[in-house]
Structure 1
């Protein structure tokens, strides 16, 4: 029984830590250079293109390819962007907004 409680507490702690770390902000002095991306042909006439994003992995920003998706009813997609702050450059991820 003690092992189950210990395992459960470790699991909950790791989930809380991972959620906290995903909310962290990572600043850089110089924005990374985006590679040239060729947008593939849309799979359907209704599909919309989600621009490529930057993701913090392994101590640096990594470029993640864009993709085609169906629009969400009642929402629009706001693409990500770089924001200059007093701490450095910060990537603000794209989001769906009403």
Structure 2
């Protein structure tokens, strides 16, 4: 009985990890205009500005303003970008590389 429940737990965990890794690509015909706002002053020396991000919510892309972050040792922030393709525009999120 314990073996079956352990197996069930492992399968459930594996399934949830698989579904979490299946991030959808959402396309729009028109690229949304980025809102204009003033970047706040850096809160401390060496802070890195992370540009705003577009997140798919409620059937459309919603803009979240940028923020300051601590630099990560040995890594560089790669900002997000819009990609135009035959199906329209889609957003590629920024990431640490």
- TM (norm. structure 2) is 0.80
Shift of 1:38: 1.1
Q: How many residues align?
A: 95
2:71 aligned partner: 71
2:36 aligned partner: 36
Shift of 1:33: 1.3
1:51 aligned partner: 51
Shift of 1:13: 4.8
Cα distance per residue 1:14-34 (max 9 Å; x no partner): 5543442x3x10111001111
- TM (norm. structure 1) is 0.79
Between the aligned partners of 1:58 and 1:11, the Cα distance in structure 2 is 27
1:17 aligned partner: 19
Between the aligned partners of 1:15 and 1:57, the Cα distance in structure 2 is 21
1:84 aligned partner: 84
